[in-house]
Structure 1
Amino acid sequence: MKKTKYTFLVLLMGLLFSCGGGSSTSASQDGSGIISTELYTGKVFPNDNPWNQDISGQPVDPNSDTYINSLGRNGYMHADFGTWWDGAPNGQPYVIVSGNQPKVPVKFDYARESDPGPYPIPANAPIQGGPNGTGDRHVIVVDKDNGLLYEMYAAYPDGNGGWKAAAGAVFDLKTNALRPAGHTSADAAGLPIYPALVKYDEVMVKKEITHALRFTANRTRNAYVYPARHAAGSSTDTSLPPMGMRVRLKANYDISTYPESVQVILRGLKKYGMILADNGTSWMISGAPNDNWNDYELHTIKQVPGSAFEVVKMGEIQYVQY
């Protein structure tokens, strides 16, 4: 497929560790301070952050079977990332910038629940689905020098150097701070997106995922559980999962027949699990696009059934009052 100037940053992703980590990729920087890399080199949240916790030994939630049935016991996983799809990079792109990246104004539709601008967004920051995309249009920017994460939902350039978006949030990657209770982010659950993505270098260079992943469900309850802070469902049906619910791949599920790249992902799901973050197709996990992904191998993840998962015991479920 034809690549445009817009995709320049996306096509350079996967460039970490070129000098010392054995990767076949490299990093680039231009005068604006933009750095294009596959992985942020700093720590993404403290070790005791929920995203970084080993939950392989935690008890199963007493309502696990009910929630798995709701998600689709007979459904299958799907990797919502890869190389290209429908003329755009397939997955959730992001850009890493230096601390001197100029900040630009941002106007939010849901200003009360959004962190106000300005945000350090490059003019050519990649948009999920491409510049003409009609989906979630997430924009993700990581300030590598200050350890700050900026994320927006339904983001559009305003034509004057700034941006407009439905909602946005800023996360300090050095702390465990959460969004205010009841507040959204660029994701329905009020959670960050970047820390939850499957990234190429994690799988193909490090060969280990050391954090929980992000996934979606076709129906959710109007409720959330830690670490989520927001809900996007309209039902109070207790058989439906709340945002923030965590599932893990069962320890006895045989992954030996999958390609090694997919085994890396599945091992991560056994140890760290995945957290329900948004409404969408059930069992869909999110990742960053990269031209080097092997789409054929990623497609084999569709063989993993919903019945291979169990829900990790949850804390108190919070209901949203509208």
Structure 2
Amino acid sequence: MSFSGVDGRSQRDAALDQPRLGDEPTADGPNVRTDGPQDGPKPDGPKPDTGAPPTPDEGTLPPPDQGIPPTPDQGKPTAGHYFPAGSIWTKDVSSAPLQSNSSAIINWLANAGGWGTGQMRIDFSIEVLRAKAGTPFRAFTPTGDHYSPDCDTDKVPIVAGGAIEGESGYECVSDGDCHLIVVHEPTHKLYEMWRANISGGTFYGGCLAVWDLTKVYPLDGRGEGCTSADAAGYPIAPLLFTADEVKAGTINHAIRFILPNSRIRNMAYVHPATHSTSAASGGANSLPYGARLRLKASFDISKLSAGAQVVAKAMKTYGMFLADGGSIALTAQSDRFTTAKWSGLLGSHDLSSLKITDFEVVKYESSIVNYSFNCVRN
């Protein structure tokens, strides 16, 4: 996210075929408010104290707090999925009808430049942590990037030795998106926070969205008009593909993708998105948040690398959802905490031959909703 004129993600050039961050400031992030600051420095969240050396793994050993007991299972996620069967994220759309103006949208996007940076690239920076029974929970101090009633205030499980997006630990040194994503396995809950920062012993947090992984959410997710840790208002982790999935040869869910703000429809979304931003400035033929693209069945994937073919097959079967504004089109999960590793499996440019014209727009899951800054939680 960024307030108007303020970059919300600090990304760096990705070396050719190396799983790293992106190439320029990219994201508008989860929320853009007209009733908050519009210019100037990022709100709240103090910068790290550079007057003293950082302590090792700062924030990874929080004081114990076991005040959140496990809840009875209501319906566990199916194998390889975050949510139970019937979730929108695992819907097979290989034969789904197209949006009536699919061709017009694709042509407009192609004329506007297609993907950010002009080619499809992959960002490998987002971490997903797994918390076990006994993992301590910590309360956080909300920053100006936390909104009510959109964002949750629950205590968050902090895994020892874990890290936030783009960092080696829990301190948001780079001043980027710094997503903190944790699956609490005993309670089947997914905690996703934007702009997390544990610095000087204090846990600062932007928007937190807590998802019940035993639940099949309605198309309006956590609530109409509500943001999450991502601009579109839906979860991040279920749309990330992993090195373990690619090595196994199967991705059985939709994929998260990003477009520059100028190519995203202004102040509008379709379900399963529940949120849009004023930073998005596209017109009627641009894509709204929540739109799903599908790789054409006729696209020949045989010339792609083996790993890229796995991703391309998922794009043909499940498609990919527009989730955020920025330059790097695709987001994969970091391999820091996975068994398989990206090196030799998939590189940041391995899907660069896929053009926007190789895709089509799947029929929207709802009519277009005009975003009004009014979150009504479910």
The 3 A distance-change label for structure 1 pair 159 and 273 is same
Q: Where in structure 2 are there 5+ consecutive unaligned residues?
A: 1-54, 67-77, 374-378
User: What's the counterpart of residue 4 of structure 2?
Assistant: none
- The 8 Å contact of residues 130 and 159 in structure 2, kept in 1 or not, is answered as no
Tell me by how many angstroms 1:119 deviates.
Answer: 1.1
Distance in 1 of aligned mates of 2:178 and 2:109: 25
Deviation by residue 1:265-313 (Cα, 9 ceiling, x = unmatched) = 000000000000000126x111112262136842221111111110101
What is the deviation of 1:101? 1.5
Contact 1:43 1:173 (8 Å CA) reproduced: no
Name the aligned partner's letter for residue 154 of structure 2.
Answer: G
> Which ranges in structure 1 are unaligned for 5 or more consecutive residues?
10-30, 34-39, 82-90
Pairwise CA RMSD: 2.7
- How do 1:1-322 and structure 2 match up within 5 A? 6=57, 43-72=81-110, 75-81=118-124, 91-108=125-142, 109=144, 110-112=146-148, 113-122=150-159, 124-130=161-167, 131=171, 132-160=173-201, 162-177=202-217, 178-204=221-247, 206-219=248-261, 220-221=264-265, 222-234=267-279, 235=281, 237-281=283-327, 284-290=329-335, 292-294=341-343, 297-298=346-347, 299-314=349-364, 315-322=366-373
Report the equivalent of 1:22.
Answer: none
Give the direction of change, closer, same or farther, for the CA distance of 1:71–1:133 in structure 2 (3 Å limit). Answer: farther
Q: Which amino acid aligns with 1:254?
A: D
- Measure, in 2, the Cα distance between the counterparts of 1:151 and 1:310: 30
Looking at structure 2, the residues matched to 262 and 211 of structure 1 have their Cα atoms a distance apart, in angstroms, of: 15
TM-score for the superposition, normalised by structure 2: 0.68
In the superposition, relative to structure 1, how do residues 6 and 252 fare at CA in structure 2: closer, same or farther (>3 Å)? farther
The letter for the 2-side match of 1:97 is A
SS in 1 for 2:138: coil
Distance 1:49 1:241, change over 3 A: same
Secondary structure at 1:242 match in 2 = strand
Residue type of the partner of 2:357? S
| Structure with greater proportional helix content | 1
Partner of 1:69, secondary structure, is helix
Aligned residues: 280
Instruction: Report the alpha carbon displacement of residue 54 of structure 1 after superposing the two structures with TM.
Output: 0.3
CA distance in 2, matches of 1:70, 1:119: 42
Judging changes above 3 Å, is the alpha-carbon distance between structure 1 residues 320 and 275 closer, same or farther for their aligned structure 2 residues? same
Q: Calculate the TM-score normalised by the size of structure 1.
A: 0.80
Give 1:123 shift.
Answer: 5.6
- Whether contact under 8 Å (1:106, 1:163) holds in the other structure is yes
Q: Is the 8 A contact 1:52 1:272 kept in 2?
A: yes
